[in-house]
């Protein structure tokens, strides 16, 4: 775990402003959807995030804060798969002013610690734009390996995965 950041779940409509600050930013979304998300679409997406966050208390989408300044810096996610038992997807996005400062690594470390403390998780996946070399490097350093490169929902994508190694007790 790292003391550089702390995470709080998105838990209500008061959190929408922080979420929209991210998803409406073209720079932030360039490697995610290739475009900013319009207000109505973002509001509908946020509604689904709140529902899923309520369903799974320890998993979902989190607001990420700089521990020193208490400033909102981005989003982290550890979403349980709805289709594959024992699998979760890790992800993160940061406001541009926090790029290249180690926060992506701090978020990945924090979320992987949560995953490792969850006995029923067997695998963690991450989906990135193959052009996002910084995110790819963060995930590779965490032990992820590339499993697929190609089109995902009409966009260029790469799926990386990491099998969870569990010690027998």
Residue 3 has what pLDDT? 82
User: For the residues of 28-86, what is the DSSP string, one character each?
Assistant: HHTTTTSSPPPHHHHHHHHHHHHHHHHHSTTSEEEEEEETTT--EEEEEEEEEPSSSTT
Q: How far apart are CA 64 and CA 5, in angstroms?
A: 7
- Distance between start and end Cα atoms, the chain: 23
Domains identified in the chain and CATH numbers = 5-120 (3.40.630.30)
Q: How far apart are CA 8 and CA 139, in angstroms?
A: 22
Residue 1 has what pLDDT? 45
- Cα torsion 1, 149, 155, 96 to 10°: value is 30
Kindly list the averaged pLDDT for each block of 10 residues, start to end, along the chain of length 169.
85 96 96 95 97 94 97 97 95 97 96 95 96 96 96 94 80
Residue 167 has what pLDDT? 65
Which pTM value belongs to this model?
A: 0.93
As given in the structure block, the two tokens for residue 131 are: 């052009």
Residue 168 has what pLDDT? 60
Residue 169 has what pLDDT? 54
Residue 112 has what pLDDT? 96
């Amino acid at each position: 775990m790292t003391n550089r950041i702390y995470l709080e779940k998105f838990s209500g409509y008061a959190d929408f402003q922080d979420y929209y600050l991210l998803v409406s930013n073209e720079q932030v979304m360039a490697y995610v959807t290739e475009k900013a998300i319009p207000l109505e679409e973002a509001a509908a997406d946020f509604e689904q995030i709140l529902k899923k966050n309520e369903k799974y208390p320890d998993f979902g989408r989190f607001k990420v804060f700089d521990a020193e300044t208490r400033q909102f810096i981005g989003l982290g996610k550890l979403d349980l798969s709805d289709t594959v038992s024992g699998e979760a997807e890790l992800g993160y996005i940061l406001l541009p002013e926090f790029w290249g400062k180690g926060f992506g690594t701090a978020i990945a470390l924090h979320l992987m610690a949560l995953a490792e403390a969850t006995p029923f998780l067997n695998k963690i996946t991450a989906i990135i734009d193959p052009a996002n070399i910084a995110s790819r490097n963060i995930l590779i350093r965490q032990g992820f390996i590339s499993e697929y490169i190609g089109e995902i929902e009409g966009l260029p994508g790469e799926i990386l995965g990491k099998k969870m190694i569990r010690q027998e007790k």
